[in-house]
């Protein structure tokens, strides 16, 4: 055991759902990313500190990074402890996978310190304990792309069945209105039943989107970015949503929608010029309604959590 060894990890933001794939599809982004510094200790326990100003809990059972590590530690026989310092650039409650970045980053960093004894699938399983703390439900559509990179499909959670999808190059424009929507709240307002005609349309879109990624067919991706089940309910929580979406599509976006449970909105483009034009539209919309915002123009992250250095 390498007690005293320290690693740093960068943990990408993620867009869950990808419009039509509620709880099953997600992609990782190159910007923003959190940072985690972790040291392996011979003093049992998990000690968490934050260098950011979000006042997140340091109790391991309440912090998603700690909850994920507690699950991992159940499968480690040797006495170990972890000292963790988290610097968040992904604001909690943003819809950009803030909680997933911490739970995924923590288990990837710990696995590195423990000699990479666990598989990526094991790490997703541990990190889901963090999502349970954040949203009350074990969902893997943020943590899986965060750990593995790229675009991922969760065919099943119990038992865990993950499919990594290839995808063509994509530009992603994101606007994060500075209001907080908690995933737990955004889940509670959803209807529990779905009309068959809506289900048929939705699974056509999911199949089309997956095929579009695999065949690198941008038009098919664009046509399939439609959500007739979740978006009509959740978009009411996001001022400016309809205008951002319609104007972005007029400007050439393939399509887009709510990122995760919101309030962030994301749009996919084939060309960087289109992605930049969409950022201008997003800024105009949120300036005109007087809500503070942050924007990102970025690309698909293909590596997932990266353990950057050790010393």
- Residues annotated within the binding site for ATP are 91-101
Query: Is 243 part of the annotated catalytic residue set?
Result: no
State in angstroms the smallest separation of the CB of 233 from ligand HSE. 11
Q: Does 152 bind ligand ATP (CB under 6 A)?
A: no
Residues 19-38 interacting with ligand HSE (rule: CB under 6 A):
22-23
Alpha helices in the chain (DSSP H): 64-73, 98-113, 120-135, 143-148, 183-188, 196-215, 218-224, 231-234, 241-250, 272-289
Q: Does 183 bind ligand HSE (CB under 6 A)?
A: yes
Q: How far, in Å, CA of 257 to CA of 265, rounded?
A: 6
Among the listed ranges 88-96, 155-163, 249-257, 288-296, the one in contact with ligand ATP (CB under 6 A) is 88-96
Q: Does 64 bind ligand ATP (CB under 6 A)?
A: yes
State in angstroms the smallest separation of the CB of 142 from ligand ATP. 5
Q: Does 41 bind ligand ATP (CB under 6 A)?
A: no
Residues 6+ apart with CB under 8 A from 30: 12, 298, 299, 300, 301
Between strands 265-269 and 171-177, the pairing is antiparallel
Q: Does 56 bind ligand ATP (CB under 6 A)?
A: yes
100 and 142 Cβ atoms separated by less than 8 Å: yes
Rounded to 5 degrees, φ, ψ at 244 are -60, -45
Question: Binders of ligand HSE: how many residues, by CB under 6 A?
Answer: 12
Give the active site residue among 152, 183, 274, 298: 183
Residue number with CB closer to ligand ATP (8 or 135): 135
Q: How far, in Å, CA of 206 to CA of 224, rounded?
A: 7
Query: Is 51 part of the annotated catalytic residue set?
Result: no
Q: In which element (H, E) is residue 39 found?
A: strand 25-41
Between strands 161-165 and 265-269, the pairing is unpaired
For binding to ligand ATP (CB under 6 A), which residues are involved? 16, 56-57, 63-65, 86, 92-100, 102, 134-135, 142, 182-183, 260-261
Instruction: Enumerate binding residues for ligand HSE (CB under 6 A).
Output: 16-17, 22-23, 139, 141-142, 183, 186-187, 260-261
């Amino acid at each position: 055991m390498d007690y005293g060894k320290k690693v740093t990890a960068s943990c990408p933001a993620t867009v869950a759902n990808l419009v039509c794939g509620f709880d099953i599809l997600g992609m990782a982004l190159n910007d923003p990313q959190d940072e985690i510094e972790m040291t392996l200790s011979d003093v049992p326990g998990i000690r968490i500190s934050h260098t950011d100003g979000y006042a997140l809990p340091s109790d391991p059972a309440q912090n998603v990074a700690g909850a994920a590590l507690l699950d991992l530690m159940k499968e480690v026989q040797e006495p170990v402890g972890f000292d963790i310092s988290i610097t968040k650039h992904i604001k909690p409650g943003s819809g950009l996978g803030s909680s997933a970045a911490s739970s995924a980053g923590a288990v990837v960093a710990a696995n590195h310190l423990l000699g990479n004894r666990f598989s990526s699938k094991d790490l997703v399983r541990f990190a889901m304990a963090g999502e349970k703390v954040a949203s009350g439900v074990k969902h893997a559509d943020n943590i899986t792309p965060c750990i593995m990179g790229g675009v991922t499909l969760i065919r099943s959670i119990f038992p865990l069945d993950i499919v990594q999808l290839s995808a063509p190059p994509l530009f992603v424009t994101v606007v994060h209105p500075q209001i907080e929507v908690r995933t737990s709240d955004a889940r509670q307002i959803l209807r529990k039943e779905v009309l068959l005609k809506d289900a048929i349309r939705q699974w056509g879109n999911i199949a089309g989107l997956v095929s579009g990624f695999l065949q690198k067919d941008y038009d098919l991706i664009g046509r399939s970015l439609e959500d007739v089940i979740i978006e009509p309910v959740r978009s009411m929580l996001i001022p400016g949503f309809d205008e951002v979406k319609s104007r972005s599509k007029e400007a050439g976006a393939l399509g887009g929608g709510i990122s995760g449970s919101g309030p962030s909105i994301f749009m996919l483009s084939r060309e960087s010029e289109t992605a930049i034009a969409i950022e201008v539209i997003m800024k105009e919309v949120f300036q005109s309604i007087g809500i503070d915002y942050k924007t990102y123009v970025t690309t698909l992250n293909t590596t997932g959590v990266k353990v950057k250095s050790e010393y």
